[in-house]
Amino acid sequence: MQIQTPEWVKHAVFYQIFPDRFVISQQPRQRLLKNSTWEDWSAPPTLQGYKGGDLWGVIEKLDYLRNLGINAIYFTPIFQSTSNHRYHTHDYYQIDPLLGGNKAFQELLDAAHQHEIKVVLDGVFNHASRGFFFFSDILENGPHSPWVDWFKIQGWPLSAYNGEFPANYEGWDGNRALPVFNHENPDVREYIMEVAEHWVKVGIDGWRLDVPFEITAAGFWQEFRDRVKAVNPEAYIVGEVWADSRQWLDGTQFDGVMNYLFAGPTIAFTAGDRVVLDYVRTPSYEPYPPLFAPDYAAKIQALLDLYPWEIQLTQLNLLASHDTARLISIANGDRTSVELATLLLLTFPGAASIYYGDEVGLPGANDPDSRRGFPPEANWDQELLNYHRQLIGLRHTYPALRIGTYRILHAQGTIYVFARTLGEEELLIAVNIGTEPEQVNLKIADLGLNSLPTKQLFGTAQLELEPANPPADLVIKLAARSGCILGQ
């Protein structure tokens, strides 16, 4: 079969937003809580506290995002819930009133689309919450509830809050706050399908699916894809799967997954022995032990060989998320590690994803610390922000960086060089992760390029041509821990 994926995703630079922590609207708006005492914005986040970010605030930040080069947003859950992260869904048809409700979301969706920014929502369809109406009915009416078969009830009575007694129902990861749906029940299945269709009809541009590997009902994700794509063939369906995802990326289910198989090796290569192991052991996507260029090249080539090219172009590539510590903290505060990893991210095929605040140097250890409030401008790392803006701009300027072939040319010691090629557009990217200056001599005849990229588009490498001994050499001299992009 011919695999079809959304065209726009191949050209997308996503910005992942945790809504409670991104921005509070500065404009007078209709609010559920007008004078609420939120957690202090700059204080360390807690597991259960709210800081009061809202969707109207995101509208006010759209110009900032466009200036950065962002053209897609992935929101962690925004449906009504009683948790700051909103993975405890109460109502799949209501945007959380604390975020501004359905009215604020419609305004945001319209404004984002006017800014040519796509919007992808987080679909938590494996489990709901104790506050979900159907489960609440079971708590009230026990075996007489018409919704008993919607969940995995194991006995009576249910104990939803008292840990001294068995829950008597399955909760996700043993958590009785998160009752797991019975996806074998056709009514449950139909309900989830209708929710997915509804929001695509409202205008969202896709779904990011939380723990989709937990849903094993036969044909579930195939039907999900068919019904979502029937509403909008260009809707993006991306799964949260951290490992080898071939069983979901056969063209009948997801368009891509959150590409932790890219993140792990890239961090291990660029941050090396700076990685703070306590931040990456749980959950682990193996950004350790340190990698040198040959091992990194082997892992990247294996990743590129894992999926069809059409799928590679719609993977969601990332370096950090709400489920991980932030990269600058993983790298023990080393900004250069962030820069080098970002260079590799924004020159890799597939959609790139920036976790809110990473572009301005926001630190954060493991959850909940990685979910801090977005800092005021006075606390931004402006150099890092400009670094991101430059690279994103180049990615938008050169189609080869988005959909061109990816070919590793050199991987020895601390030097990694690859080419991105699309027709006559040919770019070279070279990275030195070492603490000493290095140079690489590339035989022009062996590069397989139609012309020699000697125009420096990014970075400060020194280039020399040595034509005396044919075939001529292209010499790239790289400072310690630096990288460059070369074009024609």
What residues are labeled active site? 210, 240
Residue where the block lists tokens 């009809």: 201
Q: Are 285 and 324 in contact (CB under 8 A)?
A: yes
Q: Are 421 and 427 in contact (CB under 8 A)?
A: yes
Judge residue 111's burial from the number of C-beta atoms within 10 Å of its C-beta, 0-12 exposed, 13-18 middle, 19 or more buried.
middle
Q: How far apart are CA 141 and CA 145, in angstroms?
A: 5
Q: How far apart are CA 128 and CA 142, in angstroms?
A: 18
Q: How far apart are CA 82 and CA 194, in angstroms?
A: 23
* DSSP annotation string for 360-399: GT----STTGGGPPPPPGGG--HHHHHHHHHHHHHHHH-T
Backbone angles phi, psi at 92, to 5 degrees: -75, -5
Q: How far apart are CA 258 and CA 242, in angstroms?
A: 7
Where would I find the beta strands (DSSP E) of 384-454?
Answer: 405-412, 415-422, 425-432, 438-443
Q: How many residues does the chain have?
A: 488
Q: Are 278 and 330 in contact (CB under 8 A)?
A: no
**Residue 200 CA, distance from chain mean position:** 20
Count CB atoms within 10 A of the CB of residue 113. Answer: 13
Distances from the Cα of 207 to the Cα of 135, 240, 256, 338, angstroms: 24, 11, 11, 28
Q: How far apart are CA 170 and CA 327, in angstroms?
A: 34
407: left (phi over 0), alpha (psi -120 to 50) or beta: beta
